[in-house]
Amino acid sequence: MSHRLPEAFRLACLAASLFLPACAFSAENCADIKSLDTKGSEFQLFIENDIFAHTDRYYTNGIKFGIGVPGATLSEVFCNSAKLALAPFSNEADRLHFGWFVGQNLYTPKKITIDAPQPNDRPWAAWTYMGGVGQRVNEGGNKLDTVEIDVGMVGPPALGDQVQTTWHRLIGASKPQGWGNQIPAEPALLVSYVRKEKIQFGTEHFEVIPHAGVTLGNIFTLARAGGIARIGTHMTGFGPDSIEPGGAMLQNTRNAADPDSRNKFELYGFVGIDARLVGYNVFLEGPWFRDSPSVSKRNYVNDFKIGASMRYQWLRISLTHIRRSEEFYSAAGGGGSQRFDSLNVGFEF
């Protein structure tokens, strides 16, 4: 993979420039951040799986668990880094909010009961990570900026073999046989920025929310754009939360965006699309620094989404069905599109 090294070092340096400031500051350095929230927390759980599509292939499982906490609580841990990353996009007076999370993604070829290498299909791969998110919503409550920083491991240390094998044993599914052929171990760093904006059309029951963003690192390098249209009642926030980097909205950010219109009950349905120009995908091309099983990626990938979201007081549930276009091809042909479902459950306190 030596042909990737110059790009790897450039991207790593850029990502580090956003992440490293969090390692060297004190509370006094963050004193000029105004209006840090001092109350409001939450737990969030994301699960993505293709079980209802009756498949067990490609992006087969994702799980992410997060916590959002008051900004002042994390002022000595994360605020300078988030402030630096969000400064080009937001005003100093905008509210700053923080969240933390851990997660894991699993990827397999189409046939998981073959223990031999499958060079013409998607490589076995796993990624386990932890990270932080910083958010600001503008004074008008219609623009949201999110920066997310992820660090973790791909390859055997990500425990994909153990997690999938144990889960299949519990549910009585076929034992995955090919984890010995997964991509090799490598540390991972990812920095993502996403902007969302709400556009209303003279009614509180219908909104369009476009988004755009960029992700850099040795997991993904991509640019994205798209949006959702939603219809419902008492709608707050910027649409359903999602598992991808920058996709979740923190409770305090939600409250800041809708300080006067938050009802006990909220319900809406939505449709949307997310289009991505992909420069690099470790789960298809393998790590930067080591030889690895790999296939050729598609440079353009899109997700079509449809779903519904409901909130009652402190409990929020969203369910999304996603159809993803073909991500790769090989000498044996294309990988085919994929269908899977995404569940988000949030508890506010």
CB-based contact 105:126 (threshold 8 Å): yes
221, 300, 276: which is closest to 11 by C-alpha? 221
pTM of the model: 0.84
Question: What residue has token string 């992440």?
Answer: 19
CA distance linking residue 94 with residue 96, whole number of Å? 6
CA distance linking residue 44 with residue 39, whole number of Å? 17
Q: How far, in whole angstroms, is CA 274 from its chain's centroid?
A: 12
CA distance linking residue 135 with residue 254, whole number of Å? 10
151, 152, 131: which is closest to 246 by C-alpha? 131
Q: Which two tokens mark 96?
A: 């700053």
Domains of the chain from N-terminus onward: 2-348 (2.40.128.140)
pLDDT tens for the 349 residues of the chain, in order = 434 444 433 433 433 333 333 322 222 333 333 334 445 567 899 999 998 888 889 999 999 998 876 555 444 445 555 566 666 655 554 567 778 889 999 999 999 999 999 999 999 999 999 988 888 888 778 899 999 999 999 999 999 999 999 999 998 999 999 999 999 999 999 999 999 999 998 898 999 999 999 999 999 999 999 999 999 999 988 999 899 988 887 766 776 666 666 688 999 999 999 999 999 999 999 998 889 999 999 999 999 999 999 999 889 999 999 999 999 999 888 889 999 999 999 888 7
Question: What residue has token string 């969240």?
Answer: 99
Q: How far, in whole angstroms, is CA 75 from its chain's centroid?
A: 23
CA distance linking residue 146 with residue 302, whole number of Å? 21
Q: What is the DSSP letter of 331?
A: T
Rg (CA), the chain: 20
Q: Which two tokens mark 255?
A: 């409250």
Considering all CA atoms of the chain, what is the largest pairwise distance in Å, rounded to the nearest integer? 59
